[in-house]
Amino acid sequence: MILGLDISSSITGVSIVDNTGAIIYCDHIDTRNKNKFPTLLDKGRYLKEQLQKIKELYNIEEIYIEESLQTFRSGFSSAKTLSTLAKINGIVSYLCLEVFDLHPTHIGATSARKLCGIKVPRGTKAKQFVMDFLLDSDPTFVVESTRNGNPKPGFYDRADSLIIARAGLELCKQKKSKS
């Protein structure tokens, strides 16, 4: 089974797929509560607990993590945000090694989407496009909505982690076909 993670400092998407790409598990871990998680290390401790629960329930063979943003994009990311994302990504990457004894592979969001056959048209919001793609192509992927019809917090993260897991599966298949 392949574990895909979409890590952020607020909500981390977690998906597990089998060797056919079928969803075994798709959820998110919410660490937005500043009282419960005042520091990144507190978030890391909680994420470790959640990863340990996953290890107890599933036989994870590979782990894929979405790379954190590396460059500025106007209106999206400040130096502080990029630094925080890199820190939490590093913490969770290490926790994956510690908990599962597996080195995670990092994959860029664009590369992951490409491996899954998703081409986001210019000017289109990638997160919404990915969500729509999954809703249209996988009846087992379900999204809860707010009363205004928007996805509830965490569901974009679930979608992104699922794409990362399926891209990881595709990379595993490519590796096997080469050997």
Q: What is the DSSP string of the chain?
A: -EEEEE--SSEEEEEEE-TT--EEEEEEEE---TTT--SHHHHHHHHHHHHHHHHHH----EEEEEPPP-S--TTT--HHHHHHHHHHHHHHHHHHHHHHS---EEE-HHHHHHHTT--PPTTS-HHHHHHHHHHHH-TT----B-TTSSBPTTHHHHHHHHHHHHHHHHHHHHHHHH-
Question: pLDDT digits over 123-136, tens only?
Answer: 888 889 999 999 99
Q: Tell which CATH architecture fits domain 2-178.
A: 2-Layer Sandwich (3.30)
Domain ranges of the chain: 2-178
Residues of the chain with pLDDT under 50: 72
Question: pLDDT digits over 136-166, tens only?
Answer: 999 999 999 999 989 999 999 999 999 999 9
pTM value surpassing 0.85: yes
